Amino acid sequence: MRYSREHSEATRKRILGAAARLYREGGLAGTGVDAVAQAAGVTSGAIYRAFGSKEKLFEAVVQDGVERLSAGIVQLRRAQPDGWPAALAGWYLGPQHVGSPGQGCLLPTLTPDVARGGEAARILFQEGARRAAAAADSAGPADGSDAGAAGGKAPASGWATLSLLAGAVLLARAAGPGPVQDEILSSAAAAMEGMAQEGTGGRERQGGG
């Protein structure tokens, strides 16, 4: 039976969403194709028809995850030009995101699998994370358009922002609810505020120069 393009695309998105959640929650090695198929409400054969292999499915999850992160930061910066760092920290370090790894950013959950995975997934991660880091640069344009300005390198402040947020969430989840988790998250939020102030100062100096 041949399905319409719309049906096939809807199925692909459903599989991708199920895989993204399960991989974040249980890791790549601990999540089989059958589990993804059951969560997506499809057969295992449908997954192979849509993606070709488990490795290709993981690559699609990685690409989708880093693209969502970059697009989310850009959207937040456009909506709140002055207050976006606090808004980003409020969401990323907030209880809903910290407590729901399956629905959250891929950085605190899937980077170990990317590191252990194939070259294709690593390249997709590098490219997408670089765009997200450029978007997260407080002194740069809101759309991260200067991502390739210095030999393809994103600004250091953008990498620092992503590293701070992802690392804090990783530690907070490991610590679990309680005083230690609160200390980790509040310290990260304070560090984000300091980095945002430095970025604002940098823009003012550039404008005055």
DSSP output for 57-105: HHHHHHHHHHHHHHHHHHHHHHH-TTTHHHHHHHHHTSHHHHT-GGGS-
CATH for the 55-208 domain, from 1.10.357.10, 3.40.720.10, 3.60.150.10, 3.40.50.300? 1.10.357.10
Residue intervals in the chain for CATH 1.10.10.60: 1-52
Give the integer Cα–Cα distance in Å for 19 and 193.
34
Is the separation of the CB atoms in 92 and 169 below 8 Å? yes
Q: Print pLDDT tens along the chain (209 aa).
A: 566 778 889 999 999 999 999 999 999 999 999 999 999 999 999 999 999 999 999 999 999 999 999 999 999 999 998 889 999 999 999 999 999 999 999 999 999 999 998 999 999 999 999 999 999 987 676 666 654 444 556 688 899 999 999 999 999 999 999 999 999 999 999 999 988 877 655 545 445 44
Is the separation of the CB atoms in 62 and 123 below 8 Å? no
Query: Does domain 1-52 sit in CATH 1.10.10.60?
Result: yes
Six-digit token pair at 183? 């200390």
Residue intervals in the chain for CATH 1.10.357.10: 55-208
Is the separation of the CB atoms in 172 and 185 below 8 Å? yes
Instruction: Name the packing angle between helices 156-175 and 179-208 (round to 10°).
Output: 170
